[in-house]
Amino acid sequence: MPALEAKSALVTGGGSGIGRATCELFAREGARLIVADIDKEAAEQTADLVRAEGGEARVVVADVNRVEQVTAMVAAAIETYGRLDCAVNNVGISASQVGAGGQRVGDISEEAWERLICVNLTSVWRCMKYELLAMERSGGGAIVNIASIAGLVGLPGAHGYVASKHGVVGLTKAAAMDHAAAGIRVNAVCPGYIDTPMRANSWVSPERPIITRPAMKRTGKTDEVAGGVLWLCSDQASFVTGTTLAIDGGYTS
């Protein structure tokens, strides 16, 4: 039996990278998808891939930094499928995307710091707030937040990013404790250096020594991360909550 048979799942940032891989895998495992992304064209491409394999998907254009769009996104899941069983909060930006890659603490601008915290941490809280309310009404569910190895260790030249991802890990643990009695599990996945568009735009390149640190000495693949997300959302992880799963080729070992 498929791991997510007949379950509804919401994936933010579903238009590319880890989000797209997660949508495709979830659909193959029986889930009915809400593909949410600020980029409609990218989200539609993901939905088309899902449908091409016989899956069910609805696209919702949403900026997770705007509360009215987040509430509409969650409402769309309820309207379409009647309930929300799984949610994957995957939206994030790198330090390089705000012009702060490779900077020390004293170098980053106020604007860059606030943008990293807003997108990488506050948006996860905002999405969880409304996902949790929906799951409470449905009688339970599973949430997976996409953090990073930067949520587990320090990385040079990325303190704003590191702070935001440590925040996601802490938020995950606290929410897991708050909502376990309601039958809701909340976990985080901490990917290492994964071959995604965001990593391609990062100030860290494959030639830099930091990439060779993992025991496996390679970047990961998006479907390798999606596999961990699937497990945490499935009933196979029914006794797992408040944990962080590092998928990093041994980087944090």
Domains in the chain, CATH or no CATH each: 8-247 (3.40.50.720)
- Check whether 12 has a pLDDT greater than 70: yes
pLDDT at 196: 77
* pLDDT at res. 207: 47
Q: What are the pLDDT digits (tens) for 227-253?
A: 999 999 999 999 999 999 999 999 998
Measured CA to CA, the distance from residue 1 to residue 221 in angstroms comes to: 25
pLDDT value at residue 95: 84
Q: How far is CA 63 from CA 69, 100, 110, 123, 146, in A?
A: 6, 22, 22, 9, 17
Nearest Cα to 219, choosing from 180, 248, 187? 248
Residues 6+ apart with CB under 8 A from 227: 25
How is 92-139 classified by DSSP, letter by letter?
---SGGGT-TTB-TTT--HHHHHHHHIIIIIHHHHHHHHHHHHHHHHT
Spatial separation of the C-alpha atoms in residues 253 and 249, rounded to whole Å: 9
pTM exceeds 0.95, yes or no:
no
Cβ distance 47 to 55 under 8 Å?
no
Percent over 70 (pLDDT), the chain: 92
Which residue among 130, 161, 193, 251 is the active-site one?
A: 161
The pLDDT value given to residue 217: 79
Least confident of 119-123, 126-130, 157-161: 157-161
| 130 is annotated as an active-site residue | no
Convert the pLDDT of each residue in 13-22 to its tens digit.
999 999 999 9
* Residues comprising the chain, all counted: 253
